Structure 1
């Protein structure tokens, strides 16, 4: 692989890791308190929206 290609992969992976770590700040989402998939998905959407704002 060329160094440019590796740098691009590292940038993309870093962005994904930062997004996931940002969501883990919220304890309920990180520990999976919600028992139903619909509630967990709603929590993910709400927290992602709050993080985006």
Structure 2
């Protein structure tokens, strides 16, 4: 945790409600993080993307772009 703090990382996930000492967090960053995680979850529904069938970085990136465009059109 201290290595991340040394790099300037901030906690984004809210603490549990039952904690005595609530640490601060940015609600907007948490909402953005949630959107990104849900987006990658939708990308991983494509089996080829999730299992990295594409062997080269170029073809993997092309697959990611294609899936992102299809997700955007949904």
TM > 0.5 fold call: yes
Q: Answer 1 or 2: higher relative contact order, Cα 8 Å, separation at least 6.
A: 1
Structure with the larger helix share: 1
Q: What's 2:29 paired with?
A: 9
Unaligned runs of at least 5 residues, structure 2: 1-23
Provide the secondary structure at the position in 1 that maps to 2:69. helix
Q: TM-score scaled to structure 1, two decimals? A: 0.83
Cα distance per residue 1:1-53 (max 9 Å; x no partner): 3xxx5322221111111111010010000000011111111111111101100
Over 2 Å off, 4+ runs: none
Unaligned runs of at least 5 residues, structure 1: none
Superposed CA RMSD in Å reads: 1.2
Aligned residue-pair number: 50
